[in-house]
Amino acid sequence: MFLVVFGDTYFYVESAHIFNVTANLMMVMPKRNDLEQKALHFVMNTGYNGVLQSELWRELGASSREGSRIAIKLEEKGLIRREKELEGGRWTYRLFPKRLPASIESIADCPCLLCQDNARCDPTTAISPKSCAKLTDWILSLNNEGSAALGEPDFAQGMDPR
Amino acid sequence: MEALLLIISVERNQGMLSTIDDATLMKVAAALGEEEAVTLIEYIKNADEITDDEIANKTGIRLNSVRKILYKLYDHSLVSLRRTRDPKTGWFIFHWKLQPDQLEGFILSQKRRVLEKLNVRLEYEKNHDFYYCNTPGCKRVPFEEAVELVFHCSTCGKPLVHCGNEKIVQKLSEKVDQLRKELGE
């Protein structure tokens, strides 16, 4: 019997299981995890245009083999999408993020975020998003680049992994 | 059978691919409030568990502000809290810890909340005609209300004239679209 301590919980397991558990853990946390994380950030920052797989591994300083393995891994995890593309007479993949990084940018200066009256704010009451002057001011102060900012350098800047 | 103690300490962030980085964390801190919140988060993100006293001593922020910020963060589950009792005085000691994995959820829920409000506003703007007296500080009123007021501002008494809201509608629609896109709706 083995006593396994996992965070602050512990449990006993049969000896045969222990090897499975450690083997699984090693699979979950490979050394390459760091590189994977960097790759994910890199792909996410490319926004809707995606990035060529070859650009990815060059940027990461990895080999093409590592690059493609990481890309496959990320695809398996459902984090990116790969599309075949002919580049300079060679087949490669273009990588697209499935999810864009969560960024607070688009609502960071919205008055609703810190509004004291939030609990009382409702379309049917006196304090309402329909007539809120603070909200009107915010809407009028929005610049028209709003929807274009997605995937643009400005949007990506905040997500720089370095 | 032989008993063996195997300690596996799994660090929280390992194994999980996080999509949030420090810059975003700091922006959230800034959006949540004062400059002090940024300093505070900057400090506790590197610490494991920490008491409010320690934070106040190390960062130089006043203890009451530290607590105020921590409670605010706690409201949004961005920090976790453990309470112990001081064996001598019997007072409670609060141990705080940053929960960076909650950040994405926080951002998404805030975006949904803002989007809901903007949708309400957009509908309202689209379905109403507005009248305005052109006096700064006075309110715009929808047509129905303007009729009741016989087209005179209730505050300054000047005549109410039609006021186009195309600009608001356009900017509002853009923001709504952007938020929808970001939320993947």
User: What does the DSSP 8-state code read for residue A104?
Assistant: S
Give the C-alpha separation, A43 to A66, whole Å: 15
What whole-number distance in Å separates Cα of residue B139 and Cα of residue A128? 14
Average pLDDT, integer, range A18-44: 63
Dihedral Cα A20, A21, A23, A26, nearest 10 deg? 170
On the question of pLDDT at B85 being above 90, the answer is yes
d(CA B7, CA B87): 30
Q: Which pLDDT score, from 0 to 100, does residue A146 have?
A: 43
* CA nearest to B73, candidates B35, B40, B48: B40
Q: Residue A2's pLDDT is what?
A: 54
Residue B36's Cα: distance from chain center in Å?
15
A119 contacts: CB under 8 Å, gap ≥ 6: none
Weakest-pLDDT range from A7-21, B5-19, B74-88: B5-19
Our separate counts of H helices and E strands in chain B read 7, 7
- B27 → chain A, closest CA residue: A104
Q: Is the ipTM of this complex over 0.85?
A: no
Higher local confidence (pLDDT), B177 or B104: B177
Interfacial A residues in 65-124 facing B (CB < 8 Å) = 77, 79, 99-110, 112-114, 121, 123
Q: What is the pLDDT of residues A95-142, one digit of tens each?
A: 888 776 677 888 888 888 878 888 888 888 888 888 888 888 888 888
State how far the alpha carbon of B123 is from the alpha carbons of B107, B127, B155, in Å.
Answer: 24, 6, 26
**Could you say which residues from 1 to 40 on chain A have a Cβ atom under 8 Å away from some Cβ of chain B?**
1-7, 15, 18, 22, 25, 28-29, 33, 36-37, 40
The burial class, CB within 10 Å (0-12 / 13-18 / 19+), for B17 is: middle
B21 pLDDT more than 50:
yes
* Max avg pLDDT among A24-28, A76-80, B2-6: A76-80
Mean pLDDT of A32-47: 80
B185 falls in which pLDDT band (50, 70, 90)? low
B19, B30, B177 ranked by CB distance to A101: nearest: B19
> pLDDT exceeding 70 applies to what percent of chain B?
88
Kind plus residue range of the DSSP H or E element containing B89: none
Could you tell me what percent of chain A has a pLDDT over 70? 67
| pLDDT higher than threshold 80 for residue A148 | no
Q: List, as ranges, residues 151-170 from B with C-beta within 8 Å of A.
A: 167-168, 170
Cβ contacts of B103 on chain A, cutoff 8 Å: 102
Q: How confident is the model at residue B80 (pLDDT cuts 50, 70, 90)?
A: very high
Mean pLDDT on B14-41: 71
Identify the DSSP state of A3: E
Distance CA B113, CA B122 (A): 14
pLDDT band for position A88 (cuts 50, 70, 90) = confident
Token couple for A79? 């984090």
Contact residues for A55 (Cβ-Cβ < 8 A; gap 6+): none
pLDDT at residue A13 greater than cutoff 60 = no
Give the confidence band of A7 by pLDDT, cuts at 50, 70, 90: low
Is A150 within 8 Å of chain B by CB? yes
Cβ-defined contact of B174 to A146 (cutoff 8 Å): yes
pLDDT value of position A12? 57
pLDDT category at B4 given cuts 50, 70, 90 is very low
Report which of residues A95 and A162 the model is more confident about. A95
Q: What is the pLDDT of residue A32?
A: 58
Characterize B36-51 residue by residue with b for buried, 16 or more Cβ atoms within 10 angstroms of its Cβ, and e for exposed: bbbbbbebbeeeeebe
Tell me what pLDDT residue A132 has.
87
Say how far apart CA B158 and CA B133 lie, in whole Å.
6
Q: Which residue of A13, A24, A106, A121 is the best one to mutate when testing the B interface, meaning the one whose CB has the most B CBs within 10 A?
A: A106
Q: How confident is the model at residue A29 (pLDDT cuts 50, 70, 90)?
A: very low
Mutate: best of B175, B176, B179, partner A, most A CBs <10 A: B175
Q: How far apart are CA B9 and CA B155, in angstroms?
A: 67
In the predicted structure, residue A25 carries a pLDDT above the cut 70: no
Contacts of A150 in chain B (CB under 8 A): 178, 181-182
The residue with greater pLDDT, B6 or A44, is: A44
Residue among A109, A133, A139 whose CB faces B172 most closely: A139
Residues of chain B with CATH 1.10.10.10: 2-104
DSSP per residue, B7-39: EE---TTTTS-----HHHHHHHHHHHS-HHHHH
Architecture of domain B2-104: Orthogonal Bundle (1.10)
